[in-house]
Amino acid sequence: MYPEYMVAPIREDLTSAGFEQLMTPEEVEQVLSAKEGTVLVAVNSVCGCAASKARPALKMAVAAADQKPDKLITVFAGMEADAVAKAREFMLPYPPSSPSIALFKNGELVHMIERYHIEGNELNRIVDNLKGAFEAYC
């Protein structure tokens, strides 16, 4: 785990853009087990590709999209381990990955962006990927 003073600005990067930070497995279970609506889940991280690509892409896509998920949530890898583990249960069969981005519709995982899609990609391509997923599922 990292000191909270280090991660507070990283958390705020997404929460200030409308993402709700989930801290417990119970919170994650409640949101992701809902059978109606769309939920975008960001597995946040302190790594460089989260800072330079994942978080900016999330904020840009949500701001620019005409169709958006009903709910935006985030869990923080390396901090709330139990909440992250619960979110990753819903993301199976994909292996654990941080950062990563998942879109759920009516309780089903419909779109997944893993770390390797983020770190080796251009920012605008990630934004376009997210906007395309929003158009298809939201």
Which positions are annotated as active-site residues?
A: 47, 49
Q: Please state the length of the chain.
A: 138
Non-local CB neighbours of 29 within 8 Å, separated by 6+ positions:
86
Contact 127, 57 (CB under 8 A): yes
The tokens for 109 are 């995982």
In single-letter form, the type of residue at position 10 comes to I
